[in-house]
A and B are shown apart, each in its own frame.
Chain A
Amino acid sequence: MTALLGLLPAVGLTLAALPSPGLAQSWRSVTMSRQVSGERDLEVKVRFGAGRLTLGPGDGSSLYRMHLRYDEDSFEPVAEYVGNRLDLGLKGTGRSTPWRRQDPQEMELSLARGVPMNLELEFGAVRADLDLGGMLLKKLDLSTGASESRVEISEPNAMRMSTAGFKVGAADFRVGNLGNLNAERINVDAGVGRVVLDFGGDWQDDAAVSVEMGLGSLELRFPRGLGVQLVRNTFLTSLDSEGLVKRGNSYFSVDWEEAKHRVTVNVDAAFGSINVVWAH
């Protein structure tokens, strides 16, 4: 019978779309903030399961400022600051709630500008809009499931970052101005979807970039003047290597030798396409 009912998607969708007043959600809005009090080294972890997320730099006085709008029957806010570890976000209450059509949850978070921190971001099915510019980031780890994420580094990071890691599941993922991250290594691990990496920004030093792609398209946007070496280890993946010259197993930008800063990009991809775009 289940198989037969599978023939009735239209009926099911119609029924699901009907309003159910008995299942109204209980929304709770919480605003939390904490003042900076001389922190010099901070471990920040942000977790957000589903909804809309906006993250950006705050002012110099607040360590964080977080606004949440969530279903209080199913989630509860997390804002724990112990030692130098700061945990923020939403976690499930464990209470099972019936599936229902719902408005997205929201999280708006601003983090301190002047406090050095290792930032770990963990998202699920999230539509994220992140601006990491202006923060003092020593390390960055971003992992996201099925999401539509935009990461912008609008201002240069004043600290040299050891590693910036992006783990992306099935997603439409874009990062802008990677140069502003000031990172020694950038690792991108993407499953399925579309990934756009924009290497614009203010490059302070050389960097090594590793990209592992499953199925999907990868777009690499480089600014003119940046030395680029592209090392390709792919299977059934097309490459549009505009502006790159092949030498041996690698592709080089024409000004590789003269470039002030150089980026080596290792791409390991299975199925899909790689496009190289040069910004004017």
Chain B
Amino acid sequence: MRMFAFDRIPLAWALALLALFPLGIEGQLRTVVSNEIAVSEREASLRLHFDDDASFAIVFSEGRILVNEEPLGTYTRRDALDLAWRSLLGDVVALDNGPLAEALYAWSPPEGLGVEAAELAGVLDRAMEEALTPSTATPDTVSSPGVTLSLPAEGTLLGALLRRTSALGALAEALKGLDVERATVRVGEDLIVGPGEELEGTVILVDGDLEVRGTIQGDVVVTDGRVRLLEGGRITGDLRLANGELERAGGTVGGAVSLVGADDEPPPDRREVDDLRRSIEREIRRDLMAGMERDRRRSPNVVVGTFRNVGRAIAGLLENALTLLVLATLGAVTLHFAREPLDIVATTARRAPARSAMVGLAGGFLLIPAFVLGLVALAVSIIGIPFLLVWIPVFPLAAALAGLLGFLAVARNVGEWVAEQEYRGLEWIRGSNAFYTLTAGIAALMVPCIASSALRILGLGFFTGLLAFVGSVVVFLAVAIGFGAVLLTRGGRIRSHESYFDFEDAFWADSRTETTEESAAGWRSEGPVGPTVGADPETPDPGNVEAPDPGTPAPDPENAEAPDPGTPAPGPSGDDKPPPGPEEDRHA
């Protein structure tokens, strides 16, 4: 805690100067027209506006105490002075005008403050009292018997002195030993004693010039000003100059002329200025450093840029991993609880991808109109209004679940395809394990996104963006196809769509017809609708018939792996019924 200007001068002198002028404590307090009390972690402030359009403010803000925007001292957050000030604000926050002024006027610094805090609190107390007291300090107005006080029009005595803190130390020194019972005080103003005029008592000028052509019966103290003793001018007592100048032009001084504060020690005001300058320099330096730091962060820097790229890449990969984990978990749940619908949707998505995609896109576009239509239909009917509570959350949820189911179904198909490729290192993906294939499918659909995240390390913005776009398109298509398949199969409940005709089936069915005509004829005799998928392991699904590679012979039924119960048959192995021929599908 520190007081500006007061820490190296006898504060008592400055306060004693104020004490010279009883300012009507018992008198009427000024009318507070508006007030503002603000409290936050950083600030505790009081602002008053008076009926004569004058304002007064005490602000404790970020370690500094300001009185009418003039720095008065410093404080530390939650120190005794800060707490005392906040306590006062808390006490008066509910008051207005008269009661507020009275409460502020009646405040006195609490006991137990440290020396410096008590001094600062005392100054604040006096500042408030003076601000709240009606201004009687008009020029040439006698404030008390024997004392004439004149202030600049804009302010009060304390305010005028606070604005001239540099003069206070010298003034206190200069006033020592002088009679101030009868005094003429001018702050920030000039004084002229004209020819033939006579002024009795001590004359005190702060920040003003004195011109003497008449007689001053007493001592004269001038700080930060100039004394001109002109022809006929006479000072009967001492003349004390603090940071002042004397110009003799025919006038006389009966007593001694002395300069105050002219010793070796730098005057307090200079040190104060130095402190302030250093403080401002520190602040400017801090701001500059902060600005440079900001610029440094913004400027291209190879090292920083590399770390940033690595960070982004890691964040992206973690995002991918989290997404994969969640989707795989949802896939496992779906396999456990809704395996049959998933199989049906997957089969439909594989056998009729174009139709599914078109239906999915159309369904997606119709989602919002359908939702609104349902909303309106329920809203207009009195009976339906309660169902709005169900409709509003359930419809979007159902649409999201349909999209998820469709995406997982497509992912399962992709996973099966990956399993069939028998890539090195991916042997763990077995067609017989539905969870593995599903997870592999999800990962395969996310490959562009994962690659995009990984490429961020290199900072290849274009390729990263391109891969992200490709990844988005892949995911969008997967969701569209899957969603369409869900709609076509009514959520995986209708199996007829499993036998949709497609070109590949027709082609390979034709080629197989030539070699297995008898078997095909046997299958055709069973009708257009395929057997249950996954429901009966003994009756493999023709929809899951694998189209053999044209370059490779058909697999040997004898060496085929037994189908996993409850899962669709991975291929024609063990299947005694060939896939539907083109003619049957056309009939269907």
Contact = CB atoms under 8 A, between A and B. Distances in A.
Given A237-B380, A271-B380, A273-B385, A34 B330 contact: no
A65 B96 CA distance: 9
24 contacts: A1-B323, A1-B475, A5-B319, A7-B323, A7-B326, A7-B327, A8-B322, A8-B326, A26-B42, A28-B38, A28-B40, A29-B40, A30-B37, A31-B36, A31-B37, A31-B93, A32-B34, A32-B37, A33-B35, A34-B34, A61-B97, A72-B40, A215-B379, A236-B380
Q: Which 9 A-B pairs have the closest CB atoms?
A: A28-B40, A34-B34, A30-B38, A236-B380, A32-B36, A31-B37, A4-B323, A29-B39, A33-B96
A80 B184 CA distance: 42
A3 B330 contact: no
Given A4-B327, A7-B327, A30 B36 contact: yes
Question: Chain A contact residues: over half helix, strand or loop, or mixed?
Answer: strand
Given A29-B40, A32-B34, A37-B33, A7 B400 contact: yes
A4 B449 CA distance: 11
Interface of B: 31-43, 51, 93-94, 96-97, 319-320, 322-323, 326-327, 330, 376, 379-382, 385, 400, 404, 446, 449, 468, 471-472, 475-476, 479
Given A1-B449, A3-B476, A35 B43 contact: no
Given A27-B40, A27-B41, A32-B35, 11 more contacts: A7-B327, A7-B400, A30-B36, A32-B36, A34-B33, A35-B32, A35-B97, A72-B40, A79-B36, A217-B385, A236-B380
Contacts of A1: 319-320, 323, 449, 468, 471-472, 475
A33 B34 contact: yes
A61 B322 CA distance: 63
Interface in A107-139: none
A233 interface: no
Interface in A1-33: 1-5, 7-8, 11, 26-33
Nearest to A71: B40
A32 B40 CA distance: 15
Contacts of B327: 4, 7
A62 interface: yes
Contacts of B385: 217, 273
Contacts of A4: 323, 327, 446, 475
A159 B327 CA distance: 66
A252 B385 CA distance: 27
A215 B400 CA distance: 25
A28 B449 CA distance: 45
Contacts of B33: 34-35, 37
**Looking at B35, B326, B327, B379, which has the most chain A CB atoms within 10 Å of its CB?**
B379
Nearest to B33: A35
A238 B40 contact: no
A35 B34 contact: yes
A213 B172 CA distance: 76
Contacts of B93: 31
Contacts of B449: 1
B481 to A, nearest CB: 14
Contacts of B323: 1, 4-5, 7-8
Contacts of B34: 32-35, 81
Contacts of B326: 7-8, 11
B36 A273 contact: no
B41 A26 contact: yes
A230 to B, nearest CB: 18
A166 B51 CA distance: 37
A272 interface: yes
Interface string A211-249: 000010100000000000000000011100000000000
A3 B471 CA distance: 11
A217 B384 CA distance: 13
B456 to A, nearest CB: 13
A98 B446 CA distance: 30
A69 to B, nearest CB: 10
Contacts of B40: 26-29, 72
A236 B376 contact: yes
Nearest to A236: B380
Contacts of B319: 1, 5
A41 B115 CA distance: 52
A28 B382 CA distance: 48
B373 to A, nearest CB: 11
A29 B94 CA distance: 13
Contacts of B96: 33, 35, 61-62, 65
B387 to A, nearest CB: 14
Nearest to A240: B382
Nearest to A34: B34
A3 B400 CA distance: 11
Contacts of B36: 30-32, 79
A72 B476 CA distance: 43
B474 to A, nearest CB: 11
Nearest to A32: B36
A215 B323 CA distance: 38
Nearest to A238: B382
Nearest to B326: A8
Contacts of A217: 385
A231 B225 CA distance: 84
Contacts of B446: 4
Nearest to B96: A33
A30 B34 CA distance: 13
Contact of B43 (A11, A28, A33, A273): A28
Nearest to A28: B40
A271 B472 contact: no
A109 to B, nearest CB: 14
B97 A3 contact: no
A182 B185 CA distance: 62
Nearest to A70: B40
Contacts of A236: 376, 379-380
Nearest to B382: A238
Contacts of A33: 34-35, 96
B98 to A, nearest CB: 9
**Looking at A33, A65, A236, which has the most chain B CB atoms within 10 Å of its CB?**
A33
Nearest to B450: A1
Contacts of A215: 376, 379
A195 to B, nearest CB: 15
Contacts of A238: 380-382
A273 B322 contact: no
B82 to A, nearest CB: 16
Contacts of A273: 379, 382, 385
A148 to B, nearest CB: 18
Contacts of B32: 35
A263 B479 CA distance: 57
Contacts of B37: 30-32
Interface string A245-280: 000000000000000000000000001110000000
